[in-house]
Amino acid sequence: MILVRVNVRKCSVLTKELFITIPVPITENHAFFYRKGMKILNKRGKEWMKNAEHLMRLAMEEQGWETVENEKVIVDLWHYWPDKRVRDCSNSLKLLCDSIQNAGIVNNDRWLLCRQQDFSVDRDNPRLEMRIRRFSDESDDD
């Protein structure tokens, strides 16, 4: 299991934004296998999700985030890959969205609006950085 330090930015008691850094998600191709036409999460996928959900819950607690119920939520994503291999940022969204829901950031991942902001290479610290905020707070940007 790979643990990554959670970046914590000081926010008000009930935060409008949640900042989370987690390990780079594995792709759907590496997270699932098929049996009799059914898509099943494999051991590697389960381990990644368990670790990511733990880090998300820590960030929620440290930053004062409460579960968003039946409301749109923006998820801005910055990918930092371990090398220059060609990758598809959107190929890991299913696992990521399920983890966000399981961690309790939202009650249902159907409310997530994921935005790929950028990607680059960071050989020393590959990761996924997320900024999560309620859609209704979008107009409150500074």
Q: What is the DSSP letter of 118?
A: E
**10 band by pLDDT with thresholds 50, 70 and 90:** very low
Distance (Å, whole) CA 139 – CA 22: 27
**136 band by pLDDT with thresholds 50, 70 and 90:** confident
Which residues make beta-bridge pairs with 41? 32
Distance (Å, whole) CA 124 – CA 18: 24
In order of 29, 33, 39, 42, the CA distances from 36 in angstroms are 17, 10, 9, 15
Residue-level pLDDT at 139: 52
pTM of the complete model beyond 0.95: no
